[in-house]
Amino acid sequence: MDHVDLAIIGTGSGNSLVTPDWDGKRVAVIESGAFGGTCLNVGCIPTKMFVYPAEVATTVREASRYGVDAHVDGVRWRDIRDRVFGRIDPISAGGEQYRIEGENTTAYLGRARFTGAHTLEVALNSGGTAQVEADQIVIATGSHAVVPAAVSEAGVPFHTSDTVMRIDELPERIVIIGGGYIACEFAHVFSGLGVEVTVVARGERLLRHLDGDVSRRFTSAAVTQWDVRLNTQVDGLSSVPARDGGDPRHVDATLTDGTTIEDALLLVCTGRVPSVDDLDLSAAGVEQHPDGRVVVDEHGRTTAPGVWALGDVCSEHQLKHVANHEARVVAHNLVHPDDLRSFEEDVVPAAVFTRPQIATVGATQEELEEAGVPFQFKVQEYADVAYGWAMEDTTGFCKVLASPEGRILGVHLMGHEASIVIQTAIQAMALGLTAHETARGQMWIHPALPEVLENALLGIEQSQD
């Protein structure tokens, strides 16, 4: 059995735990798939690299509204795809090689499971097993796509976000099951690149987890872009029969509204769950939440002494920036047991790179109402600020929620570059600034788009104390 000072299961944010503090010590890095985790290989980075050309193509198609006559001559899907993975795959491969050749790291390429409180067995991808004993272990295995039984048991070809970006050709049409952020981002990507998109959502709105105003207004915008089937589910799936023009990689999808989408690529976007099923956590005494997440305290410690966890495997926020924050905290705590730091996740922002783009931080109106927290709010339209006029924007808006005294409780944006515009609000909430202090404590470039946030903040009444 190999003995190491630290074993890290997963090479997403967990890979960053190998700091100079471990020089001269032995570290095992265990990975069963591609190095770099979800974000690098199948998540944040490649999806945004697809979003951008989709955004460019859509902007060109809509250029006539500004007096510019333009059109898209064609989309070279393979060129788009190869640009993305021609950059990403070498980074992943380089990270793997770096750990293989590292002076103090040993890379175990395979799937790990606990055999005791501090022992692991790794089923190596190359065959055979390796036994590892570690003084400390970090679980950073991330998450994977959920596939409903109705799909997996139907025996039809389908894709998830983990696979769809590597297809060889754009389909004529695509059926996307799901109404969350992954579904809405891919709907934008494929629609922007010229694919006929049908979104099948079982709820009455898309992005239901967001603030109600955002969800409702986004749904209204989405139905003008895609064929959106709300309150609908897939009732039956069958492989495309051998017929002229039929693609054996596609399906016929019968929906509960009585219609059938024929000869479509099937993309399943029904969420992600922690990748823990084969870790045998009970063998180490690691407890889990009912939804499968690993239980950790504010320092990242699991219920097993010397075993830590971070990122999607334990966090309620499936966000790379959250995982990176947790990795920084755990990296410190691993080597400073008498000076533990805590996760600081009171202000967690997020964005959905769909069309229109969405960004959010803090509480939604519904959460405040349910908790009985008093609040005031202001909604500012993109159309009512100068840069919004320049864009002829008709859908974008900014919503600020604040306490009666003016403390910012939540900010929600839908519109052009929302993920950039919201950053000032994130900083203000992190620093404890009121809406008035944020709006009047600095100059705002005129007539730049952040004025939509400035004006929303100015609509919040100041404290009378």
Residues 8 and 135 occupy one common structural domain: yes
318 located within any domain? yes
310 located within any domain? yes
Q: What CATH number does the domain containing 401 carry?
A: 3.30.390.30
Residues 72 and 92 occupy one common structural domain: yes
Residues 100 and 160 occupy one common structural domain: no
Residues 81 and 179 occupy one common structural domain: no
Q: What CATH number does the domain containing 308 carry?
A: 3.50.50.60
Q: Into how many domains does the chain fold? A: 3
344 located within any domain? no
Distances (CA, A) of 462 to 290, 349, 422, 424: 43, 24, 21, 19
From 225, 251, 270, the end of a domain falls on 270
C-beta of residue 425 within 8 angstroms of C-beta of residue 453? yes
Q: What pLDDT was estimated at residue 464?
A: 54
208 located within any domain? yes
Residues 116 and 207 occupy one common structural domain: no
Residues 178 and 290 occupy one common structural domain: no
Residues 6 and 139 occupy one common structural domain: yes
Residues 292 and 408 occupy one common structural domain: no
From 270, 291, 309, the end of a domain falls on 270
383 located within any domain? yes
Residues 44 and 183 occupy one common structural domain: no
Residues 281 and 263 occupy one common structural domain: no
Closest CA to 156 of 271, 264, 273: 264
Q: How far apart are CA 423 and CA 446, in angstroms?
A: 17
Q: Which domain holds residue 116?
A: 2-144+273-335
C-beta of residue 270 within 8 angstroms of C-beta of residue 146? yes
329 located within any domain? yes
Residues 157 and 242 occupy one common structural domain: yes
From 213, 235, 270, the end of a domain falls on 270
Q: What pLDDT was estimated at residue 243?
A: 64
Residues 234 and 325 occupy one common structural domain: no
Choosing from 209, 289, 336, 446, the catalytic residue is: 446
C-beta of residue 179 within 8 angstroms of C-beta of residue 203? yes
Closest CA to 453 of 365, 363, 361: 361
Q: What pLDDT was estimated at residue 462?
A: 82
Is residue 446 annotated as a catalytic residue, yes or no? yes
From first to last of its 465 residues, the chain has per-residue pLDDT tens of 999 999 999 999 999 999 999 999 999 999 999 999 999 999 999 999 999 999 999 999 999 999 999 999 999 999 999 999 999 999 999 999 999 999 999 999 999 999 999 999 999 999 999 999 999 999 999 999 999 999 999 999 999 999 999 999 999 999 999 999 999 999 999 999 999 999 999 999 999 999 999 999 999 999 999 999 999 999 999 998 766 667 889 999 999 999 999 999 999 999 999 999 999 999 999 999 999 999 999 999 999 999 999 999 999 999 999 999 999 999 999 999 999 999 999 999 999 999 999 999 999 999 999 999 999 999 999 999 999 999 999 999 999 999 999 999 999 999 999 999 999 999 999 999 999 999 999 999 999 999 999 999 999 998 654
pTM of the model: 0.96
350 located within any domain? no
Instruction: Using alpha carbons only, give the angle 52, 157, 205 rounded to the nearest 5 degrees.
Output: 55
C-beta of residue 123 within 8 angstroms of C-beta of residue 110? yes
133 located within any domain? yes
